[in-house]
Each structure stands twice: as structure tokens, then as C-alpha cells.
Structure 1
Amino acid sequence: MILVIDALNRDRFQSVIDDMFQLRARVFKDRMGWDVSVEDGRESDLFDNLDPVYLVALNDEYDVIGCNRMLQTTGPHMLTDVFQDILCGEPSLRSATIWENTRFCIDTERLKHPDSTRSVSSTACELMAGIAEYAYDSGITDVISVVDPAMDRILKRCDNAPYGYLGKTVQMGKTKALAALSDITEERIARIRNFAGITGNIFADEDEVAEALAARTAEEMMSPDLRDYCDEQIAAATTEHEKRAALALRAALAQTSRSRSDIRA
């Protein structure tokens, strides 16, 4: 599922944003060796202070498994203000209907874990579809993506090939960077969906995610003994009625723990 985070709902999903910044640090600094700023294990830059739109891929447990960032080109953005070398002196593309897509990454370690029910490929395609569908619904006609050659090949393999490129490819850290252009059309969305076998709505319900994250936080506030007791009751349930009762007990105890924490605060 894809959660859209923007200036209007950012305060609701600070924990998701924090996890996203940690994922970006692992990918762009540790794995790819890019010259990015990392503090306390989190990668962010000045563009994260400009109210970008984040599209965040979540698994069924609401963990962050992928993300990307979208910025309007009418203001500061990476291609114009950081990757000027790519443009080779060409003028920047600036338009209210042309947006920039950067910081696309997937949590390959989490997705390759034996317990994962999602694959790297399916998550990447769902995130690509989310970018195209969000852009289409927002009236965006074109997206500029600053990517490395490996990501460019992935776009082509997923039937999401760019229709053109700006400037040239430049070296950045251990890898290279280039600017790919994608038109946002119903045809592109259909191609991505058909390639990946995606059906139905891929966007998460904000309230549902917020409630699930609040419930998880509440459970984390429970004492270890109480959590173990609840887990034992759920595991010992022999009927659906007993399981529902055990789950309801855990939810009630978690809420009590959270309420007590709020009172102390």
C-alpha cells in the first residue's frame, strides 16, 4: 500500500517519516556511497524542509518498505540546485505541471527476509504506479526523475521507460546520476499495472494507517510481561471466538498502558 504524506498530514505520520529517513540513509549513504548528509542514522536535506510530497510504500504491518519524494519544479529542486552538471548548461525545466521525483528507494533487506510477504520487484512497481497515479490525479503532466543507471534499467524492465533524458550522466559517489523524463498518462499507468499484475486501489487510507500506528505504539508501551501474557493467550486460542477475545484483551490493555503514559506526561 502507498501512503501519501504532504504538508497537510505530515504531523500525523512523523514516525513514518523518521523510518523513511533511516531507510534513505541505509540506501544512499551506506549502500550507494552518495555524498549525502546523515545525522543520527537519518538522511535528509534542505529539500525536505520545502513541504515535498512523499509516497511511502508500507507492508501489511505498516513498516516502511520503500519511498520517494516529489517536488514542484517552480521552486528549488535537486536537478537545478544540486545536479546542475547533468544539464550541461541547458535551461531548467520549470512548470507547475512538471514535478521532480527523487530519493526513490526500496528496503531490500526487509523484503528479502524469509518472513516477508512482499518482493522487491512488486514493491518497486507499486511505488512506480503510485507516483504515476498521484501525479495524474494532481494534474502533473511530466515527472523528472534523478536516478542512477541501475534504476534507469529497472524503469525500462518494468515497462515504465522514460521518454527522454536531460543533459548527460554524471558521476556521484560510487555511482552515476542522470535525469529521466516520464510523461504522466493513463497509458503509462496501465503499462505499469499490467506488468506487475496490480489491481484495485493501491493507496492507503490515512485514518486506517494512523489508527494502526497508534495501536502499535500503545502495544510497545505495555510491559514485557503483559505483552508475553497476551501473546500466550492468542497462541492458546482454539476457536475464532477465543482468538477475538484475546486480541480484544490485548488492545484494551495496550490502550490502558497508553492512557497511563499520557497522564504521566
Structure 2
Amino acid sequence: MIIIVDSLNVHEYPDLLIEMHRLRARVFSGRLGWDVEVVNGMERDTFDDLDPAHVISVNDDGRVVGCMRLLQTTGPHMLSDVFSCLLDGEPPLRSARIWEATRFCVDMGLPGRGTARNSISYITSEVMIGAFEYGMAAGISDAVAVIDPVMNRVMKRSGNAPYGYLGSPSPMGKVTALAALMDCSEERVAQIRNFSGINHDVFKASTPEEIRK
């Protein structure tokens, strides 16, 4: 199930956010070896202080198994402030209707990569569906994300192919980074649902009490 935690309800989900930041630490620092700040087992950065919306996937046991961060492009965001080299000198996108998707990760301890409910592929699709459906409801027209070629291939295979790219691919550490564009549309969501076989409402819980049931 997907829980959206934003500035309106963040006070209701302190434990969920702690679990999310711990998952990010395990993935980005522990598994991928990124140069990120980890304090008390949690990965956070300055963009977490700008009231983003967090798309959080929780399994039937209440465990955080996936997440993504959404942030408006009208203010500071990673493409403009960290990855501006990808833009070939062009100004970054600035629009209340274009949001940036970052810090996407899935618990790699999940069993298998198929489309079963507890698989990595399922959680990936569930987070994407939750993000795009939330985006459409919030009036977002498009999303931009900095991805690598592996993620680009995953997105193309799963019905979530970018419709375009900004600037040029650029080496970032051990990988090449791309700034990808995706529309928030019913068609895109339908393609992801068709690939994953997820036909139900992914937003099942709205309160901390429901999560713990």
C-alpha cells in the first residue's frame, strides 16, 4: 500500500519517516556506496527540509519497502542545485506544475524480481503508480528525474518510458546520469498497471492506526 506523507500530515507519521530514511541509508550508502550523509542510521539531505511529498510503500506487516521523494521545481531542487551540469548551460525547469522525483529506492531484501506482491518489481510499479496518481490529483503535469542507464531501461520495460531528456548524459561517479521527463497522465499510469498487473487502488491506508492493523 502507498502512504503519501507531505507537509499537511507529516506530524502523523514520525515513525514511518524514520523507517523511510533508514531504508534510504541502507540503499544509497550501504548498497550503492553513494556519498550521502547518514546520521543515526538515517539518510537525509537539505531537500528533505523543503516540505517535499514522500511516496512510501508499506507491506502488509507495516514495513517500509519502497519510497520516492517529490519536490516542486519552483525552488531549490537537485537538478538545479546539484546536477545542473546535465543541462548544458540551459536554465533549469521552473514550474509549479513540474515536480522533481528523487530518492527512489526499493528494499533489496524483498524476495525476487517478478510481479508478485512482495517482489522488487511490484513495489517499483506500486511506487510509480502512487507517485503519478498523487501528481495528477495535485495538478502536476510532468515530472523530471535524474536517472542512470539501468533505471532508464527498467522504466522503458515497465511501461514508464521517459518521453524526453534535458541536456546531455554526463558521467557522475561510476555511472552516467540523464535528466528524464515523464508526463503525469492516465495513459502512463495505465501502462504501468498493465505491465505490473496492479489493478486495485494502491492507496489503502490514510492513518497511522490503519497502517498498524
Same fold by TM-score, threshold 0.5 exceeded?
Answer: yes
Report the Cα distance in structure 2 between the residues aligned to 1:198 and 1:30, rounded to whole angstroms. 30
RMSD: 1.6
In structure 2, do the counterparts of structure 1 residues 21 and 187 end up closer, same or farther at CA, with 3 Å as the change threshold? same
Aligned: 1:195 with 2:195: yes
Contact kept, 8 Å, 1:57 with 1:123, in 2: the verdict is: yes
SS at match of 1:100: strand
1:54-84 Cα distance to aligned partner (Å, 9 max, x none)? 0000100110000000000001100000111
Q: Is the CA contact 2:73–2:96 (under 8 Å) kept in the aligned structure 1?
A: yes
Q: Whose Rg is larger?
A: 1
- The residue that corresponds to 2:73 in the other structure is 73
Q: Deviations over 1:185-216 (max 9, x none)?
A: 11111111111111121113212xx115567x
Match of residue 15 from structure 2: 15
Once the 2 structures are TM-superposed, how far is the Cα of residue 177 of structure 1 from its aligned partner?
A: 2.2
Kept in 2: contact 1:55–1:69 (CA 8 A): yes
**Structure 2 runs not aligned, ≥5 long:** none
Unaligned stretches of 5+ residues in structure 1? 216-265
Aligned residue for 2:7, secondary structure, equals coil
Q: Which amino acid aligns with 1:143?
A: A
Does the CA contact (< 8 Å) of 2:110 and 2:118 recur in 1? no
| Distance (Å, rounded) in 2 between the aligned partners of 1:106 and 1:18 | 15
Equivalent in the alignment of 1:169: 169
Conserved? CA contact 1:37–1:45, under 8 Å:
yes
**TM-score by structure 2 length?**
0.93
- 2:107 matched residue in structure 1: 107
Residue 100 of structure 2 aligns to a residue whose secondary structure is strand
1:52, distance to aligned residue in structure 2 (A): 0.2
Asked which structure has the greater RCO (Cα within 8 Å, sep 6+), the reply is 2
Percentage identity across paired residues of the two chains: 50
Partner residue of 2:205?
205
Alignment pair present for 1:38 and 2:38 = yes
Question: Relative to 1, partners in 2 of residues 1:15 and 1:173: Cα closer, same or farther, differing over 3 Å?
Answer: farther
Q: Which has the higher strand share?
A: 2
One-letter code of the match for 2:158?
A: C
Q: Is the 8 A contact 2:110 2:119 kept in 1?
A: no
State the distance in 1 between where 2:6 and 2:76 align. 17
Shift of 1:103: 0.5
Question: Counterpart amino acid of 1:10?
Answer: V
Q: Is the 8 A contact 2:169 2:177 kept in 1?
A: yes
Residue deviations 1:194-240 (CA, integer Å, cap 9, x gap): 11111121113212xx115567xxxxxxxxxxxxxxxxxxxxxxxxx
| Number of residues of Structure 1 aligned to a counterpart in Structure 2 | 210
Query: What SS is found at the alignment partner of 2:109?
Result: helix
Shift of 1:172: 2.8
Say whether the 8 Å CA contact 2:148–2:178 is kept in structure 1: yes
Distance 2:65 2:196 in 1: 17
Q: Distance in 2 between matches of 1:185 and 1:212?
A: 29
Contact 2:205 2:211 (C-alpha < 8 Å) held by counterparts: no
**8 A Cα contact 1:52 1:71, kept in partner:** yes
